[in-house]
A and B are shown apart, each in its own frame.
Chain A
Amino acid sequence: MNLSRFNLALRLLWRDSRSGELTILIIALLIAVTSSTAISLFSDRLQRTMTLQAAEFLAADLVIACPTPIPTDWQSRAKQLNLTLAQTVEFPSVLIEHDELLLAGVKAVSSSYPLRGLLKTTGADYNSETITHAGPEAGRVWVEKRILSALKLNIGDSLTVGEKPLTISNIITYEPDKKGDLYSFSPRVMMNDADLTATGIIQPGSHVHYFFQFSGDQEAIVNFKQWLQPQLTPSQKIMDIHEDRPELGTALIRAERYLGLSSILVILISGVAIAMATGRYTQRHFNATALLRCLGCQQREILWLYCSQFLILGLLTSAIGCLLGWFAQRGLFKLLKDLLPQQIANPNLSALGFGFSIGIIVLLAFALPPILRLKNVAPLRVLRQDLEPLPISAWFVYSLSITIIGLLIWRYTTDVKMTATVLGTGLITLLVLSVLIYGLLNLIASLVPKMSLTWRFGLQGLIRNRQATISQILAFSLTLAAMLLSFTVRTDLINNWQQQLPENAPNHFALNIFPEQQLAFKADLQQDAIQGSQFYPVVRGRLTKINHTPVQKFVSKDSQGDNATHRELSLTWTKELPEDNKLVAGQWWTPTQTVSVSVEQKLADNLKINLGDLLTFSIDNQLVYATVTSLRALKWDTMKPNFYMVFSPGSLDAFPSTYITSFYLPEAKKDLLNTLVKKYPSTTVLEVDLILKQFKTLLKQLTQAINYLLYFALMAGFTVLFAAVYATLDNRIYEGTLMRTFGANRKFLRKTQWIEFGVLGLISGFLAVIIAEAILYALYTRVMAIEYQPNLTLSLIVPVISALFVSLVGLLGVKQVLNRPPIHVLRGL
C-alpha cells in the first residue's frame, strides 16, 4: 500500500467529515448497522429463548412417542450426536386405597426428566410451590391434589401402584409436558422409572405410551430427526416444537418471518439513503476530482483514493453501529424484562458479526456505484464545468444491488425460487412504476403552462429534471411502502393473534357428559353465567376404509391422516354447521335417507377423500357406511370442540354417546369446578387455562418485540426520507437564492416549496400504498397465511402524511437558507 496516498485519503476524509458532507451518509450507515445488529442479536436471542420456552411444552426438543421401547441403536445414535436423553412412560392405572377406586394417569420418569422446563410441587401446606428440575426419587411418588381427596390420603401415606407401594412425598402442581389429549385425561401420579418393573404393570400387550425425549444442539436435533424419519414405523411418532403445538408453531413461524422481513426492509431503506447521500457526495467532488486528475492522478488512483476513504468510513461506522446495536438490544431486553422468561439465551457472536458485515455490504452495494463515477471525471472539467462524468454502466449498478439484495432475501428465506420470485416481481414493479411516474410527470408538464405563477414554479421543480424526480419518487415510495408494510403486517399479526385467542376463549373442556345430564349441565353453566360453546354428542369410532379400500393404503407416514387412522376418532353429528367451521366443498345436509358425513378439509386432502366417496367406520365392532357430502375448513386453535368427521343427524343414533363442550371459567369462579365434578362424577373436566395463559404470555412477548422492531423500521424510514430530501437540497437552495436575488419574497418561495415537496410526497405516498398493498396481498396469501383485507383508511392517510412529512423536511432544509442573505449562498458556489 502506498502510505502517502493512504495519508491523503485519511486527510481528505477528515476534511469531508468536518465539513459535514458525509454526515447523512454516516447516519444512514449507522442506522443500517445499528438496527440490523440490534435486530439480528435481539431476534436471534428471542428466537432461541422462545424455542427454549416452546421446548418446555414438550419438556424436550424432540420426542418420540411410541407404544413399545425404541431400538437401542437409536439411543446410541442420539448419544453420538451429543444429545441428552430422558424417558417417560405413561399408562392408566386403577388405584385402590381405603375402599376408594380411582383411575389415574401414571407417569414414570427417568432421572434426567424434564430435559426442558421444570416441575412444581407443594408440600402438605399447599401454599409454597417448589420448583424442581427432576421428578420423584425411587420409592417416592408425587400425586395431584385430587388423588389425595378422592382416595382419602395424606402426604407421607403409602400409595400402591400396581404391586408396588410408594410413599407420597409431594403434591404435583405443574408438569411441563402435560398433554391436552381429551380422552387420556385423568389425575396424575408421577413416579420414578426405577420402580416401574416392580409395579408389574408393564406386560407385553399392556396399554402403555413411551416417550423418548431428546435435547441438545439444534443442528444435532435436526440431524437426528432426519436420520430417524425413514426408520419410523407407523406407530412411532416424532413430536417437536414446530409440529406438536400447531398454534404455538404458527405463532413462532410468523414472528420469525416478521423479524426477517423487518431486517431486510430496514437494510434496504438505509441502503437507499446511503445511495442518495453518496450520490450527493460524488457530485460535490467532481471538481476536486477533476483537479486531482489535472495534477496527474490516474483513474486507478482516484478510485483507490475514494474507495479507501469509504472503506475506512465503513469500518469505523460499522464498528460503532455494532456497539450501538448491542446496547440497543440490551436496552430492549431490559425494557421487556417483566415479560420475558428469566433465562434468556446468550447473545450470539455471529449475530454481531452479521450486523458488522451488513455495514460493509450495504456500503458496497449502494455507495460503490456512485463512487465509481468519480473515476470517470474528465480532467477537462477544470476548464468546462458542464462536463459531467458518464454514469457507471446501469447494467453494473443494477446487477450489483440486485445481487446483494437477492442474497439478503435468500438469507432469510433460504429458498432460491422464492428469492427469484421476489426479486423478479420487485424489478418488474420498479419498471412499471418508473414508466408510470414518467407518464405522470409528462401529464403535469402539459398542465403547467396554464397554472398560476406559484404552482408553475413549484411544479417546474419536479418536471425540470425528470430523471432525478423519478428516482426520488421511487426512493420515497419504496421507503414509505416499507414502513407501511412493517406497520400493517405488525398490526394484522397482532390482531390475528388476539382474534385467535380472545379474552374469553374457552379454557376448560367437559367430556363424557351423559345425554340425560346434558340439559342439567347446561343449566348449571348458565346459572353461573359461564360462557360455553355448543354441546356436541360424541361417539368413538375408527375410519377403516375409503371406497372399500383399507385406509392404510392412503396414508403417508407421519401425516395428519396417519394420526387420524391410528387412533379412534371422535365422531359427532349436528343439524347446523358448527360455529367457526366453513364449508369449502359440497353441501350441508340435504334431506336424504342415506348416512352422510362431512370431512375436515386437510384430512380429506391427506387421505385423498373426495365428495361422494363412501367411508367405512368401525364403531363398537359394527360397520357404518357414510357418503361424503361436504368438506369443511375449521380453526383448530379456537379452543372449541372440533371434529374431523361430522355426521348427518340420526346417523349414529344406534350407538351410545356422551357429550362434550368447552367453556370459559374465569379464575374467580374456579370453585365451580369442584361442584361440577361432584355433581357429575362421570364427567371429566379438562383444565387448559394454564396452558392458555402461558400461550398468551408468549404472544404478548412476541407482540412487544415486534413493536420494537417496527420502531426501528420507522426510524430508519424517516431518516431515509430526511436524507433523500437533503440530498437534493443543494440545487433547490441555489435556485431559491437566485430567485430571491431577483426579488422573490420568502412567502412565494415557501409556497413553491410546499407545492413541490407536497406533490412529491403525495405521489410517493399513493405509489407506496399501491406497492405495499400488492406486497401485502402476496405476503398474506402466500407466506403468512393471514386473510388479506385492503385497508382503505390507511391508503388515504398515508399519502397525506407523506406529503406533509416531505414538505416539512424540505422546508426545514431550506429554511435557514431562506433567511440568510443571498450573497452568502452565491459566494458559497
Chain B
Amino acid sequence: MTPTQIKSHSHPIIVAENLAKTVLTAEGTLHILSSIDLIINSGESIAIIGESGSGKSTLIGLLAGLDTSTSGSISLNGLDITQMNEDGRAAIRNELIGFVFQSFQLLQGLTALENVMLPLELRGDKKAKAIASRLLERVGLAHRLSHTPKQLSGGEQQRVALARAFATQPKILFADEPTGNLDSKTGASIIDLLFELNSENQTTLILVTHDAHLAARCERTIKIEAGQQV
C-alpha cells in the first residue's frame, strides 16, 4: 500500500545530531546507540526497523524526551530538548507528542473516558470530556466509555490508547510496536485506524515495527543495527 495522500514536507520537525546512548552495567560501559543523525519532516511517516535488541525503543525514547541521551542533540519543532530539564520535556511532550505503546499502558483505576481525558486535563483543556468522548466514538468505543481497562480486550484497550494519543492533536506520534500484543486481524484493524487518524490529523508518525509490510506503508524506513543507523 502507498500513502493515501501526498503531503508537503514543509519543515523538519525532528532533528537529531550525533546522538549516542551508553549505560553503565556490571560488565562495563554498554553502547546502546551511537552516532545517530536524523531529520524528520513535519507530516512524514517513518518506520523504524531492526532486530530485537538493536536499540529501536531506546531511540524513540530519546526522540520523545522520555530519556536523556549521553551525547548529541535533539530538537523538536525547533526546540533543543537536550538542554531542558524533566519538567521542560514534560511540557513539550504534552504539547507536541502522542504515544502508543505495545502494552497499552492505560491507567487501571480510570475508565476509558478518563484515560483519554488525562492528557487533555493535564493541559487544562476545558472541553476535555467532549473531545475524549468524540474520539472514543471515532475509534468505535462509544458504548464503552465508562469501562475500565480490565473490562476491555487487548484490541479495545489499544483503541483507547489511540484515542488518548490523538486527543491532544499532537504534531508527532510515537508508536512502539503497537500491534505486538495483538492477533494479526485485530492488529491490522488497529494499524488501519492509526493511519486513518494520522492522515486526518496531519501527524508526523514514527512507528517502530518488525513487520516489513507495515514498514512499507510508511513513507520512509530507518534501519537500526546494533545501535547504528544503516
- Contact residues of A with B, CB < 8 Å? 386, 453, 460, 464-465, 731, 735, 738-748, 818-819, 821-824, 826-827, 829
Contacts and interface: CB of A to CB of B under 8 A. Distances in A.
Contact of A821 (B67, B92, B94, B97): B67
B210 to A, nearest CB: 18
Given A460-B109, A738-B107, A829-B103, A748 B68 contact: no
Interface stretch (B70-78, B117-125, B184-192): B117-125
A823 B66 contact: yes
Given A821-B67, A823-B66, A823-B67, A747 B101 contact: no
A214 to B, nearest CB: 70
B170 to A, nearest CB: 10
11 contacts: A738-B105, A738-B107, A742-B94, A742-B118, A743-B90, A743-B95, A743-B97, A821-B86, A826-B101, A826-B105, A827-B57
Nearest to A743: B94
Contacts of B91: 743, 745
Interface string B118-140: 11011110000000000000000
Contacts of A748: 122
A658 B124 CA distance: 90
B186 to A, nearest CB: 15
Contact of B99 (A465, A741, A746): A741
Contacts of B31: none
Nearest to A456: B121
Given A464-B109, A735-B107, A822-B67, 6 more contacts: A386-B150, A731-B108, A741-B105, A742-B93, A743-B92, A744-B94
Contacts of B150: 386
B61 interface: yes
Contacts of A745: 86-87, 90-91
A825 to B, nearest CB: 9
B119 A743 contact: yes
A746 B90 contact: yes
Contacts of B122: 453, 739, 742-744, 748
Contact of B66 (A731, A739, A741): A741
Given A386-B150, A819-B86, A829-B103, A741 B67 contact: no
Nearest to B95: A743
Most buried by B among A460, A464, A742: A742
Interface in B54-87: 57, 61, 66-68, 86-87
Given A460-B109, A819-B86, A823-B61, A742 B66 contact: no
Nearest to A829: B103
B81 to A, nearest CB: 12
Contacts of A824: 67
A284 to B, nearest CB: 16
Nearest to B60: A823
Contacts of A460: 109-110
Nearest to A749: B90
A821 B68 contact: yes
Interface of B: 57, 61, 66-68, 86-87, 90-95, 97, 99, 101, 103, 105, 107-110, 118-119, 121-124, 150, 164
Contacts of B68: 821
A365 B174 CA distance: 49
B176 to A, nearest CB: 10
Contacts of A826: 66, 101, 105
A822 B90 CA distance: 10
A338 B229 CA distance: 76
Nearest to B98: A742
A740 B67 CA distance: 12
Contacts of A739: 118, 122
A821 B66 contact: yes
A453 B86 CA distance: 21
A89 B110 CA distance: 86
A748 B93 CA distance: 15
Nearest to A747: B87
Most buried by A among B122, B124, B150: B122
A755 to B, nearest CB: 15
Contacts of B103: 829
Nearest to A464: B109
B180 to A, nearest CB: 14
A450 to B, nearest CB: 14
Given A386-B150, A453-B121, A821-B67, A743 B109 contact: no
A464 B107 CA distance: 11
A464 B109 CA distance: 6
A824 B67 CA distance: 8
- Cβ-closest 8 pairs across A and B: A743-B94, A464-B109, A823-B66, A742-B119, A745-B87, A823-B61, A823-B67, A821-B67
A760 to B, nearest CB: 15
Contacts of A738: 105, 107
A806 to B, nearest CB: 20
A740 B107 contact: no
Nearest to B99: A741
Nearest to B151: A386
A742 B90 CA distance: 7
Nearest to B62: A823
Contacts of A740: 86, 90
Contacts of B101: 826
Contacts of B67: 821-824
B87 A453 contact: no
A744 B121 CA distance: 10
A465 B108 CA distance: 10
Given A748-B122, A826-B101, A741 B93 contact: yes
A744 B122 CA distance: 6
A183 B110 CA distance: 83
Contacts of B87: 745-747
Nearest to A386: B150
A821 B21 CA distance: 13
A496 B14 CA distance: 75
B102 to A, nearest CB: 10
Contacts of A819: 86
Contacts of B107: 735, 738
B90 A744 contact: yes
A745 B119 CA distance: 12
Contact of B86 (A386, A731, A735, A746): A746
A739 B86 CA distance: 13
Contacts of B123: 743
Contacts of A829: 103
A465 B109 contact: yes
Nearest to B148: A464
A44 to B, nearest CB: 48
Nearest to A453: B121
A824 B58 CA distance: 10
A718 B119 CA distance: 37
Most buried by A among B61, B87, B94: B87
A45 B177 CA distance: 67
B61 to A, nearest CB: 4
B87 to A, nearest CB: 4
A715 B87 CA distance: 37
Nearest to A388: B150
Contacts of A453: 121-122, 124
A745 B164 CA distance: 18
A739 B122 CA distance: 8
A422 B57 CA distance: 58
B121 to A, nearest CB: 6
A386 B99 CA distance: 23
Contacts of A386: 150
Given A738-B107, A743-B123, A829-B103, A822 B95 contact: no
A735 B68 CA distance: 20
A744 to B, nearest CB: 5
A258 B150 CA distance: 50
A386 B124 CA distance: 32
Contacts of B124: 453
Contacts of B99: 741-742
Nearest to B88: A745
Nearest to B124: A453
